[in-house]
Amino acid sequence: MEEQEILDQSNASLQSKNRPTAITVICILGFFGAAFAIPMIFSDIARQVGSWYPPYLGLSSVIGLTCMIGLWKMKKWAAYTYTGFVILNQIVLIAMGVWNIMALIIPVIVIGIALAHVNKMD
């Protein structure tokens, strides 16, 4: 009887750690986004923005991919790092004079979903 209780507790613990579907979808889209950003690093368009922009885009791609991997593994640090990353990117867009509300909508949705599930993360 005691063994069954231990097994039930273990199963309940595993089920509470399951990745929500919304996080799975966000991560898959994020993986594709990071893959498509890599060619942009080497594009003429990125160089036209400024000599600083291709390295920034490369670093942003690595940080974004790292956050998506962390979210996939349900890590709290990934939700918090992504939030900070979005804030930094908004500042850069404002400084460049190219910010618009569309640059904020999708990241805010992602942050909202990630932070809504942060209690399920390690």
- How many domains are there within the chain? 1
Quick check: 118 pLDDT over 50? yes
Each residue's pLDDT tens digit, 76-104 = 999 999 999 999 999 999 998 889 999 89
Q: Of residues 6 and 48, which shows the higher confidence score? A: 48
Q: For residue 49, is it within any domain?
A: yes
The token pair that represents 9 in the structure block: 């507790």
Q: For residue 97, is it within any domain?
A: yes
Q: For residue 11, is it within any domain?
A: no
Q: What does pLDDT average to over the chain?
A: 89
The token pair that represents 108 in the structure block: 């805010």
Quick check: 2 pLDDT over 70? no
Q: For residue 65, is it within any domain?
A: yes
Each residue's pLDDT tens digit, 5-32 = 655 555 544 444 689 999 999 999 999 9
Identify the band that residue 50 occupies on the pLDDT scale cut at 50, 70 and 90: confident
Q: For residue 13, is it within any domain?
A: no
Q: For residue 45, is it within any domain?
A: yes
pLDDT of the residue at 31: 96
- Are the beta carbons of 14 and 62 closer than 8 angstroms? no
Q: For residue 5, is it within any domain?
A: no
Closest to 114 measured CA to CA, from 66, 81, 91: 81
Please state whether the predicted TM-score (pTM) of the whole model is above 0.85: no
pLDDT of the residue at 49: 87
- Are the beta carbons of 71 and 33 closer than 8 angstroms? no
If you write DSSP's letter for every residue of the chain in order, what string do you get? -HHHHHHHHHHHHHHHTPPPHHHHHHHHHHHHHHHHHHHHHTSHHHHHH-TTHHHHHHHHHHHHHHHHHHHHTT-HHHHHHHHHHHHHHHHHHHHHT---THHHHHHHHHHHHHHHTGGG--
Range of the domain at 116: 21-120
